[in-house]
Amino acid sequence: MWMRVLGAAATVIACTALGAGAVLRMRERKCLLERMRRMIVHLRGEIMYANVTLETAFWRTGKREEGKLSELFCSVARRLENEAGENFAEMWREEAETILKDTSLKRQDMEQLVCFGKSLGYLDRDMQERVIRFYLEDLELAIENLRREEPEKSRLFFGLGILSGLFLTVILL
Protein backbone atom coordinates (compact mmCIF):
# COMPACT_ATOMS: atom_id res chain seq x y z
CA MET A 1 0.00 0.00 0.00
CA TRP A 2 2.73 2.45 0.90
CA MET A 3 4.38 1.80 -2.49
CA ARG A 4 1.21 2.99 -4.24
CA VAL A 5 1.12 6.14 -2.13
CA LEU A 6 4.80 6.76 -2.81
CA GLY A 7 4.29 6.21 -6.56
CA ALA A 8 1.26 8.50 -6.59
CA ALA A 9 3.21 11.23 -4.79
CA ALA A 10 6.14 10.84 -7.18
CA THR A 11 3.80 11.12 -10.18
CA VAL A 12 2.17 14.29 -8.89
CA ILE A 13 5.54 15.83 -8.00
CA ALA A 14 7.05 14.96 -11.41
CA CYS A 15 4.14 16.42 -13.35
CA THR A 16 4.16 19.53 -11.18
CA ALA A 17 7.90 19.89 -11.87
CA LEU A 18 7.19 19.69 -15.60
CA GLY A 19 4.72 22.56 -15.30
CA ALA A 20 7.16 24.57 -13.21
CA GLY A 21 9.86 23.90 -15.82
CA ALA A 22 7.63 25.36 -18.53
CA VAL A 23 7.13 28.48 -16.40
CA LEU A 24 10.88 28.73 -15.85
CA ARG A 25 11.62 28.46 -19.60
CA MET A 26 9.12 31.23 -20.31
CA ARG A 27 10.76 33.50 -17.73
CA GLU A 28 14.24 32.68 -19.07
CA ARG A 29 13.08 33.62 -22.57
CA LYS A 30 11.81 36.97 -21.31
CA CYS A 31 15.08 37.69 -19.51
CA LEU A 32 17.09 36.68 -22.57
CA LEU A 33 15.05 38.97 -24.81
CA GLU A 34 15.45 41.85 -22.34
CA ARG A 35 19.23 41.33 -22.24
CA MET A 36 19.27 41.19 -26.04
CA ARG A 37 17.41 44.51 -26.14
CA ARG A 38 20.01 46.10 -23.84
CA MET A 39 22.84 44.75 -25.98
CA ILE A 40 21.28 45.95 -29.22
CA VAL A 41 20.75 49.43 -27.74
CA HIS A 42 24.41 49.46 -26.75
CA LEU A 43 25.41 48.24 -30.22
CA ARG A 44 23.40 51.08 -31.75
CA GLY A 45 25.19 53.57 -29.51
CA GLU A 46 28.58 52.19 -30.49
CA ILE A 47 27.79 52.35 -34.19
CA MET A 48 25.95 55.66 -34.27
CA TYR A 49 27.57 57.78 -31.57
CA ALA A 50 31.00 56.29 -30.93
CA ASN A 51 31.38 55.90 -34.72
CA VAL A 52 33.36 52.65 -34.45
CA THR A 53 33.59 49.75 -36.86
CA LEU A 54 31.17 46.86 -36.65
CA GLU A 55 33.90 44.62 -35.25
CA THR A 56 34.74 47.04 -32.41
CA ALA A 57 31.06 47.63 -31.69
CA PHE A 58 30.49 43.88 -31.33
CA TRP A 59 33.53 43.51 -29.04
CA ARG A 60 32.48 46.33 -26.77
CA THR A 61 28.88 45.18 -26.65
CA GLY A 62 29.88 41.57 -25.95
CA LYS A 63 32.12 42.60 -23.07
CA ARG A 64 29.28 44.43 -21.29
CA GLU A 65 27.18 41.33 -20.58
CA GLU A 66 27.74 37.73 -19.63
CA GLY A 67 26.31 34.49 -20.86
CA LYS A 68 25.31 33.19 -24.27
CA LEU A 69 24.53 36.59 -25.78
CA SER A 70 27.93 37.92 -24.80
CA GLU A 71 29.49 34.83 -26.31
CA LEU A 72 27.56 35.44 -29.53
CA PHE A 73 28.70 39.04 -29.88
CA CYS A 74 32.33 38.26 -29.02
CA SER A 75 32.38 35.29 -31.37
CA VAL A 76 31.05 37.40 -34.24
CA ALA A 77 33.64 40.08 -33.45
CA ARG A 78 36.38 37.42 -33.47
CA ARG A 79 35.24 36.18 -36.87
CA LEU A 80 35.10 39.73 -38.20
CA GLU A 81 38.64 40.24 -36.95
CA ASN A 82 39.84 37.15 -38.80
CA GLU A 83 37.81 38.15 -41.83
CA ALA A 84 38.41 35.68 -44.60
CA GLY A 85 36.02 37.24 -47.10
CA GLU A 86 33.01 35.69 -45.37
CA ASN A 87 29.56 37.11 -45.77
CA PHE A 88 28.47 38.82 -42.52
CA ALA A 89 24.92 37.49 -42.75
CA GLU A 90 26.15 33.91 -43.05
CA MET A 91 28.65 34.41 -40.25
CA TRP A 92 25.95 35.87 -37.98
CA ARG A 93 23.52 33.03 -38.75
CA GLU A 94 26.10 30.31 -38.08
CA GLU A 95 27.20 31.82 -34.78
CA ALA A 96 23.64 32.52 -33.62
CA GLU A 97 22.44 29.00 -34.42
CA THR A 98 25.50 27.40 -32.82
CA ILE A 99 25.67 29.45 -29.64
CA LEU A 100 21.96 30.02 -28.96
CA LYS A 101 20.65 26.55 -29.88
CA ASP A 102 20.28 25.40 -26.26
CA THR A 103 18.58 28.54 -24.99
CA SER A 104 14.91 29.13 -24.31
CA LEU A 105 14.48 31.26 -27.44
CA LYS A 106 11.70 30.16 -29.74
CA ARG A 107 12.13 29.54 -33.45
CA GLN A 108 10.47 32.89 -34.21
CA ASP A 109 13.00 34.70 -31.99
CA MET A 110 15.86 32.99 -33.79
CA GLU A 111 14.42 33.87 -37.20
CA GLN A 112 14.16 37.54 -36.21
CA LEU A 113 17.73 37.47 -34.89
CA VAL A 114 19.05 35.91 -38.11
CA CYS A 115 17.07 38.41 -40.20
CA PHE A 116 18.61 41.21 -38.13
CA GLY A 117 22.10 39.93 -38.98
CA LYS A 118 21.26 39.63 -42.67
CA SER A 119 20.27 43.27 -42.82
CA LEU A 120 22.98 44.70 -40.58
CA GLY A 121 26.24 43.71 -42.16
CA TYR A 122 26.29 45.34 -45.56
CA LEU A 123 24.54 48.67 -45.06
CA ASP A 124 25.68 52.22 -44.37
CA ARG A 125 25.22 53.81 -40.94
CA ASP A 126 21.77 55.26 -41.60
CA MET A 127 20.40 51.95 -42.82
CA GLN A 128 22.09 50.12 -39.95
CA GLU A 129 20.33 52.48 -37.54
CA ARG A 130 16.97 51.71 -39.17
CA VAL A 131 17.60 47.96 -39.06
CA ILE A 132 18.52 48.20 -35.39
CA ARG A 133 15.45 50.33 -34.67
CA PHE A 134 13.14 47.84 -36.41
CA TYR A 135 14.71 44.93 -34.54
CA LEU A 136 14.34 46.80 -31.25
CA GLU A 137 10.65 47.33 -32.04
CA ASP A 138 10.27 43.60 -32.67
CA LEU A 139 12.01 42.85 -29.36
CA GLU A 140 9.80 45.34 -27.52
CA LEU A 141 6.70 43.72 -28.96
CA ALA A 142 7.85 40.21 -27.99
CA ILE A 143 8.80 41.33 -24.48
CA GLU A 144 5.50 43.15 -23.99
CA ASN A 145 3.56 40.08 -25.13
CA LEU A 146 5.50 37.92 -22.68
CA ARG A 147 4.89 40.36 -19.83
CA ARG A 148 1.19 40.41 -20.58
CA GLU A 149 0.86 36.63 -20.95
CA GLU A 150 3.24 35.56 -18.17
CA PRO A 151 0.90 35.69 -15.15
CA GLU A 152 -1.92 33.71 -16.72
CA LYS A 153 0.36 31.25 -18.52
CA SER A 154 2.34 30.67 -15.34
CA ARG A 155 -0.81 29.73 -13.45
CA LEU A 156 -1.98 27.63 -16.39
CA PHE A 157 1.27 25.67 -16.75
CA PHE A 158 1.64 25.11 -13.03
CA GLY A 159 -2.03 24.13 -12.65
CA LEU A 160 -1.87 21.77 -15.62
CA GLY A 161 1.19 20.14 -14.12
CA ILE A 162 -0.59 19.45 -10.85
CA LEU A 163 -3.84 18.35 -12.47
CA SER A 164 -2.11 16.06 -14.95
CA GLY A 165 -0.22 14.47 -12.06
CA LEU A 166 -3.47 13.91 -10.17
CA PHE A 167 -5.14 12.56 -13.32
CA LEU A 168 -2.31 10.10 -13.95
CA THR A 169 -2.44 9.01 -10.33
CA VAL A 170 -6.17 8.29 -10.52
CA ILE A 171 -5.71 6.39 -13.79
CA LEU A 172 -2.80 4.34 -12.44
CA LEU A 173 -4.46 3.48 -9.15
Per-position pLDDT tens, the chain of length 173:
788 888 888 999 999 999 999 999 999 999 999 999 999 999 999 888 888 888 889 999 999 888 899 999 999 889 888 876 778 888 888 889 888 888 888 999 999 998 888 888 666 778 888 889 999 999 999 999 999 999 999 999 999 999 999 999 888 87
DSSP state, residue 119: H
Compute the C-alpha angle 59/146/133, nearest 5°.
45
Helix axes 125-172, 107-120, angle to 10 degrees: 170
The answer to whether 139 touches 36, Cβ cutoff 8 Å, is: yes
Q: What is the residue type of 1?
A: M
The residue extents of the domains of the chain are 2-172
pLDDT of res. 84: 67
Name the pTM for this structure. 0.85
DSSP state, residue 31: H
Q: Cα–Cα distance between 170 and 173 in angstroms, integer?
A: 5
Kindly give, in sequence order, each residue whose CB lies less than 8 Å from that of residue 130, ignoring residues fewer than 6 positions away: none
pLDDT of res. 34: 94
